[in-house]
Amino acid sequence: MKTLKIGVILLALLLAAMIMVPMVNATNGQILPTRDANSSLSYKPEEFTIAYSGKDLTQGKIDERSDDLIKSFESKFGKVLPSGYLGSTSVQLADDEKIAAYEFRILPTGETISYADIVSANENDTAFVKAKERLTEWSNTILKEKTEAANSKANSLAPTATNALPAIITTSQTSREYSGVGRVILSTTWYWDNVETDSNNDYFYTQSYLQTNPGIAISGFEPYKNYNPKIEIDPGYSYTYSHMPGAAVIDAEPGTTTGSTTIGISLSSGKSLTLGWSTSIPDSSVSLTNPSGLKYRWTENFNWWGSNANTLFIFRPGVLSTSSQTSSRNGSTYVVSRVTADCENGFMKIVDGIPYISPTGTNYWGHLLNVRWSNGYISS
């Protein structure tokens, strides 16, 4: 009789589990851990995603909708996730450029991710269609993979973990195609050190890559090659919001280096975590300068006759910066850093012995990160 009762109980539990699983899947939701063991919250990607394409996009509209999503996420999950920085990126572009496609998502861990495709304002409809296609490709690959990884991480966090917030604040990718010349992708990941014990400072890592894909590699016959692209990282930049209070640069890597080679890079203050990676250096070199304030600029120098000029090339610099911890965590919104691609003179072709450099004029665009400290409360 006792054995029969145990069997009935086990069967009931099994049936309950079978019923619960379809309920979660039917809402396309992921269950996040909570501090209340008797309740749970469901994360649905579509609730925290915005996606646009077309000729009528404005940065103001994108910023407003992104901020609304962050407030909605904080309202729902602010008591679940540990304190930390929540942020979104603003796209920066020239007056004669437009955002053709954009997508932004808050992942269940609080990390955010976005993609922007920009074109010349006078481009025809075909350019906008291609931008939408590139957005769809990014959404079905990178965004999907990041969401799945974040779902797994969120569901593995202990409800009372004090350092559960991931070090990544956001990852942003901006793409710009110059018809017949080449395509440039600027991708940046911003981190903060959530385990350091320095009570006076917060530490931020801006790790970026500039990918140049010359026309000769895209089409096989366009004569343009990689020539002289530049990338800048500026933790001292203020936009709609001011830069981080007490912002200072600890390190900027790599320094001026000759190529063609691959080198290892690491950023650490001695009081913070170490962030390391490797980067290729083009032939003939990369030069690092500090033109003003906290702005650091890397200039890539390609040998037009060398192999690096003919192929897709990725260069990865980074900056470690600090801010005043007390002021940075006061609930206001601040800019961690701005990252820009300066594509003027980025590509070159030689026809009948005469060099032609492109693009010319203002081709200075990028993105910046706005953050606000979230301390388990809902900010206005």
Distance, in Å, from the CA atom of 341 to the CA atom of 210, rounded to the nearest integer, reads 7
Decide if 17 is inside a domain: no
- CB-based contacts of 313, cutoff 8 Å, min separation 6: 211, 212, 213, 226, 280, 282, 300, 302
- Considering its fold, how many domains does the chain have in total? 1
Size of the chain, expressed as the number of residues it contains: 380
pLDDT at 25: 28
Decide if 75 is inside a domain: yes
Q: Which domain holds residue 91?
A: 47-374
Decide if 235 is inside a domain: yes
**Residue 176 DSSP class:** E
- CB-based contacts of 242, cutoff 8 Å, min separation 6: 334, 335
Alpha helices in the chain (DSSP H): 2-26, 59-77, 125-138, 144-156, 215-218, 325-328
Is the CB of residue 66 less than 8 Å from the CB of residue 86? no
Decide if 34 is inside a domain: no
Decide if 161 is inside a domain: yes
Per-position pLDDT tens, the chain of length 380: 434 343 433 334 333 333 333 222 222 445 555 444 444 678 899 999 999 999 889 888 999 999 999 999 988 888 777 788 999 999 999 888 999 999 999 999 899 999 999 999 888 899 999 999 999 999 999 999 999 998 887 776 544 344 434 379 999 999 999 988 999 999 999 999 988 889 999 999 999 999 999 999 998 777 899 999 999 999 999 988 999 999 999 999 999 999 899 999 999 988 888 999 999 999 999 999 999 999 999 999 999 999 999 999 999 999 999 999 999 999 999 999 999 999 999 999 999 999 999 998 878 999 999 999 987 544 33
pLDDT at 95: 83
Decide if 40 is inside a domain: no
pLDDT at 181: 94
Decide if 35 is inside a domain: no
Distance, in Å, from the CA atom of 88 to the CA atom of 14, rounded to the nearest integer, reads 43
**Is this structure's pTM higher than 0.85?**
yes
pLDDT tens for each residue of 121-132: 888 899 999 999
Decide if 254 is inside a domain: yes
